[in-house]
Structure formats: structure tokens, C-alpha cells
Copies of this chain bind each other. A is one copy, B any other.
């Protein structure tokens, strides 16, 4: 027997209608690529979203069509998110850090029908425009005065298209499972794979993020959206913040320490979220210039594990709660958060830090399990380490136009991480499954070694890979980029690690290189490292 409740679909434009009705004077503030601050209210944003829906419709964009963006976090990118969703089209956010071949690859794979780009990225887009036949319209996200040079004729300015349209638009209703967004993972192997989000999944994700024990930014909150909108929906904040009535601040292209600090202070941001390297840049700027925060209360760190240094500096020096969030593009992205728990009062400060360095507990809606090499589900005992698998309404069922298997036979998504989960639900990623070093029968975490090595003052970057070993099958090789001006030796570093790692995890050798190979999202490209050291032989 079914309940007798209204069969109302969860659709994203409802969020902006809610915001405009209830928080009419709340602001969205953007630093534009042109360098000016743009500010408007939710009421104005909704009008512009309707206007853009008319632009897209006139452009011939239909339900299901893919519309690409290559853009910073600005109000215009925000408008494209909502207007594409409003007409049932799909916003395909492209990471501008991809090389031109990869941009062309994903645009062709998605069969994008139009492409919107910030003027900054004209030099990236122009050379490949001839190689993406599906794209009928290119739009520069600016006004006529700032239109960049472009190879193809007919480049339109966003503001000129907007000016020609009405602000009246009735949002249509359709199935809440309708696709609204497409984001390709920048996998380290093979071609990028597309993740196709739906209205339902993004709406549920936003509701979950707004729970007070998850991100919980409310009407008083001022959120600085540092995570790029080309990165998994900017972790959902374009949806969660208007839903809760908070103020939304987009930093545009200014993601350096000074730029971030200035906008945090100027807009009195209370919360933010981003990857560790961003926070490192901010810390460096603040230390050098002896700055303090006057409004920031907490910040979410995700994308890769947070270091103890970032955690302690923010909490102890600046009084900002720094909490980890963990997720993946395939998870929309929210899987876990690690907010201070009610049990923290019973822990020493160091014990609290140890808990905070884990990835955290699953948010409601996300199921997690760890699975051994034999496929058996392992206990949540904090000890058993295995493949981390997840399940939930905002987790991928199938990659876009993909022939392979996306899920396990029983319907879980394997994250590719190796992790433990403890009795309190805390998940701790010990490594990527493919990076784990199989030393005899034991699994050694490459990440643990890297983190320990990074504590050495002479180590700027550290990457660990497994290399062939006659007796143990595989043993760790630590690859280091030195801090400029320092000269730590292999012996010094290994000595340093002896107090910090179990004997089995001590690297057998250290090699020094000048530059660490990094992927588009700033992660170490272990594939490149393995290639560089493919003929490496450990002595004895």
C-alpha cells in the first residue's frame, strides 16, 4: 500500500524559488574575472536564471542536451547551473586544468551542444573549437566590451544574449531523476569517465549537507565557495546555501592566499570549504603578513587528506574549526564529515586531533562497508582494513556511456580506497587500493609514509610507490622533492622516519627529484612516478 502524500518531484529550481521568497535581500557576491565585485540578491538571481532559461531555449537547447562550462566560481556560472537544470538540460562542468586534448575528449564524449567559458579560458577553448563538432554555440561569460578574440565566428557575449530575453519563465515540472549535471573524473588511468547527477540526487545531497551536524550553514552563514564549480558541483553549495538562506560568496579566479584572505574579511565569511593546498596558501599568506580572521568559524577540507599542520594551525592559531569531509565525484561528492563530536570533551587535545585526522563518519543516507580481498565484508572494528564500498541515493549507478561495470555485483560502488571503519563509525582511508604496497602478506599504506615524510622540514613533497623486491614482492620507495635550500640525505630521512613508522612501513630507499608529477586536481600522479622508476631495483 502506498502512502497518500503528494507526488511532488524534488527539482533544483525550487531551491531558488524558496530562497527568493524567504531571503529576498540575502546576497550572492562574486569576484568576476574582470576583477570587479558583483553583488545581487536571491530575487535578482532568480530573475536572471529565468532570463537565462529563455536564452538557452532560444539557443535550441532541449531537455537532455549537454551544455558545457569552463569557468570560475561566479554568479554567471551559478546562473548556468540553475538555468540548464530548469529546462531539463545538463550542465557539463569542464575542469580547465585539463589539457586541451582532454577538454576536447570530454566535450566530444558528452556531445556538448553549447559551451560557456570565462574570458580567461578563451586561449584554452579557441584552439580546440574546430575539434568539437557537436557544439553549435560558444558563449563568452562577459559583456560585449570584454569579448575575447576567438577563432570561430559568432561568439556571443553572455550579457548581450541575456539583455534580449524576458525575465518571465515558468519552470516546467518533470521526473526528479532527470539528469542535471555531468562531471568527468580526472582518473589517473584511462580516459576520464562521466558522472551524471540528477535533480533528486543533488536535492537530497543539499538537504543532507544542511543538517546541523554536517555542514549546517544557516541563514546567518556566509559561505565562501572556494571549491571550484567545475569540481563536483562545488561540493553542492550552490544548492545547499540558497536552500538555507545563507550568503554565498564566489571568489572567481582569486584562489591565492591574499585573494582568499581579503574576500573572507571583506564579506565577513563564516564558513568555507576547499582542498588542503588552498588552505596551505592561505596560512602562508597570513603568517607572512601577521593576519587574523575576524569572522571565519569553520571550514571543511576535502579532496585529499588534511595534514596535522593545517588542522592545528587553523584551530590553535586562528580559532577556526577545521573539519574533514570525504567524498568523490561519483558521490556528488559527500560521503563523510568529521565535525567535532559530543565525545570530544572526554579526549585529550592530541586524541581529538587524532580523531579529526580520520575522514569522519558517514552522513545519513550513505552506507559504507569495507570488504577484504576475498570479497567478505569486514567488521567495523577500526583494525580491519579493506576496500571501501559505498551506497546511497546520490552515489553513481553507472558512468555515462560506459561499457564496463560501475558497481559490484551486489550493487555497491567500490571507491578504490583502502580504509578502516571503527566502532563509532569513523572511517579512515589508509591508501588508494592501487597504491597500497603489498609487502609479503601485509598491506603497507603509501599515504602513511608520505605524511610521516612530510613532517621532515627538508621535505617539500613526498610520493611513495611500491617497487619490486625479491623477498617481499613489493617494498616502498620514497620519492622526495626537497624544500628549496635544504639538503636532507636519504639516511637522515630514514632515520627521521624510524620513530614515526612501524618497521614494516619504513621505506627501503629514498630518491630525490626536482618536481613532483601532479594531476589536474593537484594529486600526485603515482602512475607517472611508477613510470619514472619502472626499472628501479632495490639494493639487497
On whether A424 and B22 interact (CB within 8 A), knowing A211-B211, A216-B212, A341-B219, the answer reads yes
Cβ of A391 and Cβ of B6 under 8 Å apart? yes
> Does A445 belong to the interface (CB within 8 Å)?
no
> Does A393 belong to the interface (CB within 8 Å)?
yes
Stretch at the interface among A100-108, A200-208, A298-306, A459-467: A200-208
> Does A342 belong to the interface (CB within 8 Å)?
yes
Q: Is the interface of A mostly helix, strand, loop or mixed?
A: loop
Cβ of A4 and Cβ of B213 under 8 Å apart? no
On whether A362 and B212 interact (CB within 8 A), knowing A4-B398, A400-B4, A411-B6, the answer reads no
Cβ of A4 and Cβ of B212 under 8 Å apart? no
Stretch at the interface among A190-198, A479-487, A509-517: A190-198
Cβ of B392 and Cβ of A201 under 8 Å apart? no
Tell me which residues across on chain B come within 8 A of A275, comparing CB atoms: none
Q: 1/0 per position for A23-65, CB-CB distance to B under 8 A?
A: 1100000000000000000000000000000000000000110
Query: Smallest CB-CB separation from A195: which chain B residue?
Result: B4
User: In whole angstroms, how far apart are the Cα atoms of A219 and B343 in the complex?
Assistant: 10
Cβ of B219 and Cβ of A342 under 8 Å apart? yes
User: In whole angstroms, how far apart are the Cα atoms of A111 and B18 in the complex?
Assistant: 40
Tell me which residues across on chain B come within 8 A of A24, comparing CB atoms: 423-425
Cβ of B5 and Cβ of A244 under 8 Å apart? no
> Does A1 belong to the interface (CB within 8 Å)?
yes
User: In whole angstroms, how far apart are the Cα atoms of A361 and B219 in the complex?
Assistant: 12
Cβ of B210 and Cβ of A3 under 8 Å apart? no
Tell me which residues across on chain B come within 8 A of A393, comparing CB atoms: 5-8, 10
Cβ of B211 and Cβ of A3 under 8 Å apart? no
> Does A279 belong to the interface (CB within 8 Å)?
no
> Does A507 belong to the interface (CB within 8 Å)?
no
Query: Smallest CB-CB separation from A244: which chain B residue?
Result: B213
User: In whole angstroms, how far apart are the Cα atoms of A339 and B245 in the complex?
Assistant: 12
> Does A90 belong to the interface (CB within 8 Å)?
yes
User: In whole angstroms, how far apart are the Cα atoms of A367 and B342 in the complex?
Assistant: 35
Query: Smallest CB-CB separation from A209: which chain B residue?
Result: B211
Cβ of A211 and Cβ of B210 under 8 Å apart? yes
> Does A177 belong to the interface (CB within 8 Å)?
yes
Number of copies of this chain that the complex holds: 2
Most buried by B among A2, A195, A220, A339: A2
> Does A281 belong to the interface (CB within 8 Å)?
no
Cβ of B18 and Cβ of A243 under 8 Å apart? no
> Does A15 belong to the interface (CB within 8 Å)?
yes
User: In whole angstroms, how far apart are the Cα atoms of A393 and B200 in the complex?
Assistant: 12
> Does A397 belong to the interface (CB within 8 Å)?
yes
A365-402: which have CB < 8 Å to B?
365, 367, 380, 391-400
User: In whole angstroms, how far apart are the Cα atoms of A201 and B218 in the complex?
Assistant: 23
> Does A287 belong to the interface (CB within 8 Å)?
no
CB distance from A219 to the nearest CB of B (A): 5
CB distance from A42 to the nearest CB of B (A): 11
Tell me which residues across on chain B come within 8 A of A10, comparing CB atoms: 204, 365, 393
Most buried by B among A208, A220, A398: A220
> Does A178 belong to the interface (CB within 8 Å)?
yes
User: In whole angstroms, how far apart are the Cα atoms of A211 and B22 in the complex?
Assistant: 15
User: In whole angstroms, how far apart are the Cα atoms of A391 and B17 in the complex?
Assistant: 14
Cβ of A179 and Cβ of B22 under 8 Å apart? no
Q: 1/0 per position for A207-241, CB-CB distance to B under 8 A?
A: 11011110011111000000000000000000000
> Does A503 belong to the interface (CB within 8 Å)?
no
Cβ of B198 and Cβ of A396 under 8 Å apart? no
Cβ of A201 and Cβ of B3 under 8 Å apart? yes
Cβ of A395 and Cβ of B5 under 8 Å apart? yes
> Does A313 belong to the interface (CB within 8 Å)?
no
Tell me which residues across on chain B come within 8 A of A361, comparing CB atoms: 22
User: In whole angstroms, how far apart are the Cα atoms of A10 and B176 in the complex?
Assistant: 14
Most buried by B among A23, A342, A395: A342
> Does A76 belong to the interface (CB within 8 Å)?
no
CB distance from A58 to the nearest CB of B (A): 21
Q: 1/0 per position for A168-179, CB-CB distance to B under 8 A?
A: 000000010111
On whether A212 and B207 interact (CB within 8 A), knowing A2-B175, A3-B196, the answer reads no
* Cross-chain pairs A/B with CB under 8 angstroms, 16 sampled: A2-B198, A3-B178, A3-B180, A3-B196, A3-B200, A4-B398, A5-B394, A6-B411, A14-B365, A18-B362, A21-B380, A22-B362, A211-B211, A211-B212, A211-B243, A244-B364
Which are the 9 A-B pairs with shortest beta-carbon distances? A3-B198, A22-B425, A1-B64, A213-B218, A212-B216, A212-B212, A5-B201, A212-B218, A3-B179
**Given pairs A6-B391, A10-B365, A210-B211, 18 additional interface contacts (CB within 8 A):** A1-B90, A2-B175, A3-B198, A4-B196, A5-B177, A5-B196, A5-B197, A5-B397, A6-B396, A8-B393, A18-B364, A23-B425, A204-B207, A207-B364, A212-B216, A212-B218, A216-B218, A219-B339
